Structures are given as C-alpha cells and as structure tokens.
A = this chain, B = another copy of it.
Amino acid sequence: MEQKTTLVQKLEYVKGILAIAEKYDHAVNVLSYDQETICPPDAMEEQGEVWAFLNNQSYKLIKDQAFIEAAEYLYEHRGELGEFDRVMAEQLHRNYVQTRNITPELQHEFMLTFNRAFVNWSKAREAGEYSLFAPSLKEVADTNRRMIELRGEDAAGKTAYDTLLDDYERGMTSEVLDEAFGACKERLIPLLEKIRRSPRKIRTDFLTRPVEEEQQVKMAKWLLKQMRFNFDRGAFTTSEHPFTANMGRFDTRVTTHYYPDRFLSSMYSIIHEGGHALFDQNQLQANFDHFIIGGKTLGMHESVSRFYENRIGRSEAFAQFVYPKVCECFPEAMEGVSQEDFYLALNAVQPSLIRTEADEFTYTFHIIIRYEIEKALFAGEIKVEDIPALWNRKYQEYLGVCPASDRDGVLQDVHWTSGFGYFPTYAIGNFYNAMYFNRMKQEVAVEESIREGNFEPVNSWMIGHVFAKADRLSPKDWIRDITGREFTPKDFLDYLEEKYSGIYGL
C-alpha cells in the first residue's frame, strides 16, 4: 500500500517537472522556428543565446538529482505501471543512460562545438573549400565518441558507430544495415545500368520552365488541403530549407522553398513535409499527457513523409488526380504536356550529385555512400581528410557522376555538423513504408481513392496502424505490429524493380 502511494507520488512529481520542461521546450521550438523563418541576420547570435539558455533550463530540470531518482524509481517499478506510464519511464531511463555523465556544462560545451561546426560548414560550403570544414568535422566526430565514452559501461559491447545508429533508430545495427544495403546494391546497380541503356527517353524539359512564386504558393496550399493538413492546428510558411516542426500539442508547422525554375521542388517538398505533419497532427493526446512523443524514431518519421511523397505522390493515380490542377496553376509550364508526360517526368531516373534533388530510384545510393563513409570513419579505416576523395570515388562508382566542387559533393549536407548516424534513417524509412504499403493495399483501395483525391481512407489507415503505437513501440516491434513481418528491404526493392521496369520498358 505504502509502495503504491510512493509510486503515485513519484509519478505525479515526475510529470509535474516534465510539464515545466515542456513549457521551456515549447519556447525553444518557437525560437528555432523563428530563426529559420524570420529572425534578421544581426539578431541571430543573440536569439541563439536565448535559445541555448532556455534549452539549458529544460535540461537542468531533468538532470536534477531528485528528478533522476524519482524517474529511476519509476523505471525499476515499471512492471507496476500502466502502459503509457511504463513507456514514459523507459524513455526517461534511456535518456538518463545516454546523458548520465553529461553535465549541463558539458552539454553546453558540446552545443558550442556543433554550432561552430555549423558556422564553419557554411563558410566552407560557400567557398567550396573542404579544408575550412575538416577540423570541425573531426571535432564533431570526436565529440560523438566522447559522448559515447561518457556512458561508460552502458555503451560497452558495441562499436561507437552502432551506438550512434541505435541513438537515431533504436535497435538498428551496422550488421543489419550492411545486409540491407548489400541487397540494395546487388539489385539496384544492374537495374540502373538497364535503365541507362533503355531506349525509352522521358521528357523533362518542361520541369525547368519558369513558374511564379505566387502560383507555387497556391499549389502548395492546395496540396496541403487535399492531404487534410489541419490549418487550425498548424501553419504553413517559407524558409530557406523546407522543414516540419512542432511548437506544442496543437501546432505543427511546415515550410517550403520556391525555385522559379523548378516547380516540382516546392510541390514535392510540401507533400513530404505534409506527411511529417500528418504524423504529428494525428498523435494520440495521451502521448502528450505522458510526455512520450519522443518515442517516434527518425526512421518512422521518414517512412511516413516518404510514403506520402513517393508512394502516393509519384503514383500514377496521384498524377492523374493533380494533373488538371497543375495545368490550371502552371498553364505556361504545362503547355503541351500530357498527363502521361507529367507522370513519367515525376519518375525520371537521372543520376545526379545532390541528394535532396535525387529521384526516388537513385536516392538510396546517396544514403549508401554516406553510410559507408561514416562507418569507415568510425572504424578508423579512413581519416577526415580522406572523405572528399572517397566521396567522389563512390559517386563515380555507384552513380557515374563526379562533383566538380566539394560544394556539390561532401559539403552539400548540413547533417554532419551535429553528428553521425542520421543518414541511414532516410533509407530505413523507405524500407518501412514499402513493407506497410503492401499491407495497406490489402485493406484499403489506395489507387481508387487517391485517383479521386480522397486521402481519407489512406490517412485513416495510417492513423490506425502506423501512427497509433509509434511512440510506444521499438521500431522492430512497431513494424512487426503493422505488417506481421520482420524488417527487410525486400518490399522496397521489389517495388522499385516493378515500377521502373514498367516505366523504362525493361
């Protein structure tokens, strides 16, 4: 009886602190969003300091000894807790282990390292000079290693890189990824060769015809509305790099960027971000009440955004649905472009240098290249200085292209300024959604409803099967819960093979 009382008290205490931390986090989110969208250049540094201050206030709350003791007590007694409280206790324990010896001061130091790396990356990228970034990149890798060392025995028995992979996608290992990416290479390299040799040429000339921003904004808004983005609980604006971010429980914001000579860019980035947003807007309120919204992995999130972007957005049914609207919004650009032309152009395979502009087929190679480099770096097989040459060699090998400058090569992505192990989640997301799409098709008339522009059946299935338990299950259990099967890249590879064989008449 007494223990029961203690448990209830500790639960209340822990949730009380987390509710305060949530307020700080909310402000931190709004400040970040503001910096990405509106904050003027001269105010960036000052606002960054405010951001860091509030972030630290939140961090201090959960690093407080009394809080840790209460949270650890809950974890030890997790068997006596209800499901949501148990998940909360597990997440808190996981976070505790990851940051056990990282004091608020150390955390601040690491943050400065990442900030410095970001600044140097920006400079290096602008100058196309890898050497300006290399020392920072080494610092980031060292910081990642140090953060893992600080975990002591909690990180024992695993390589540093596997620990990083696990941080981003719980349970993921390089062994699993080696196998998955091995299968990708085995099947996709010969397929790409066939596509290359295919006599069927897809016209893409109209994709670079100029379209005014105003028209693109109209289209982006329309797309979000079709997808059933909730504008009462979200906002839609512009930023240099498209993103989705949650401010609080009822506020999911998406942004995009407009290029006058690439109208597909804003269309497909908004479908991608819209997918992230649907995931966030359709969370159970209970997840918020139990502070477990951090349970979703990046792989899960990318699976959803890429599901909407590629599996839905580049399907024949979707192309048929949006074609009249695209013609209406971009009449000059679509002059003389048939629905078939439009669909094929959405799926034209064009090996290229820039990941974010890659087509669905070649995208996986961009991830494999980054994965292989990260892994080699953490295994000590290569040094930071070796990366550009290796990068270029791999692009040549897998995609037959080679960047003229590091700006379009190793310096293109911001991710390495804040750590390693993130990139694989993009590909993992594709593997997940191919698995659950095969299941969805058995229960939902996907093509028919999308052809009519009706997202309701698809969204409902996603909410019920993909979103509902994402915060409570490990990725392994989650994909098994949705599909009844174990993680595999097979469905994704089958899908690519079938789709692109059709498109290129192989």
- A positions within 8 Å CB-CB of B: 20, 23, 26-27, 30-31, 33-34, 38-43, 46-47, 49-50, 53-54, 214, 231-235, 237, 247-251, 253
Chain B: minimal CB distance from A115 (Å): 17
Once A34-B34, A214-B214, A237-B38 are accepted as A-B contacts, the answer to whether A27 and B43 lie under 8 Å apart by CB is no
Q: How many copies altogether?
A: 2
Q: Please name 19 pairs of A and B residues whose Cβ atoms are closer than 8 Å in the assembled complex, sorted by A.
A: A20-B53, A23-B50, A26-B46, A26-B50, A27-B50, A27-B54, A30-B31, A38-B237, A39-B247, A39-B251, A40-B250, A42-B232, A42-B233, A43-B248, A43-B250, A43-B251, A46-B250, A47-B251, A50-B248
Tell me the bound Cα distance from A41 to B214 in angstroms. Answer: 24
Q: CB distance B47 to A30 under 8 Å? A: yes
Chain B: minimal CB distance from A419 (Å): 26
Question: From A37, which residue of chain B is reached at the shortest CB distance?
Answer: B38
Q: CB distance A40 to B249 under 8 Å? A: no
Tell me the bound Cα distance from A234 to B39 in angstroms. Answer: 8
Contacts of A34 in B (CB 8 A): 30, 33-34
Chain B: minimal CB distance from A237 (Å): 7
Please provide the 6 A-B residue pairs with the shortest distance between their CB atoms, ordered closest to farther. A43-B251, A42-B250, A43-B250, A26-B50, A42-B233, A42-B232
Contacts of A43 in B (CB 8 A): 233, 247-251
Chain B: minimal CB distance from A72 (Å): 27
Q: Most B CB atoms within 10 A — which of A38, A49, A237, A248? A: A38
Contacts of A237 in B (CB 8 A): 38
Tell me the bound Cα distance from A33 to B27 in angstroms. Answer: 12
Tell me the bound Cα distance from A121 to B27 in angstroms. Answer: 28
Contacts of A214 in B (CB 8 A): 214
Contacts of A53 in B (CB 8 A): 20, 23
Tell me the bound Cα distance from A247 to B86 in angstroms. Answer: 41
Taking a contact as CB atoms closer than 8 A, the residue among B47, B247, B253 that contacts A247 in the complex is B47
Tell me the bound Cα distance from A253 to B39 in angstroms. Answer: 9
Tell me the bound Cα distance from A236 to B490 in angstroms. Answer: 51
Tell me the bound Cα distance from A44 to B211 in angstroms. Answer: 35
**Apart from the given pairs A30-B50, A43-B250, 13 other A-B contacts in the complex at a CB distance below 8 Å:** A20-B53, A23-B53, A26-B46, A26-B47, A26-B50, A27-B31, A30-B47, A40-B233, A40-B250, A42-B233, A42-B250, A46-B250, A214-B214
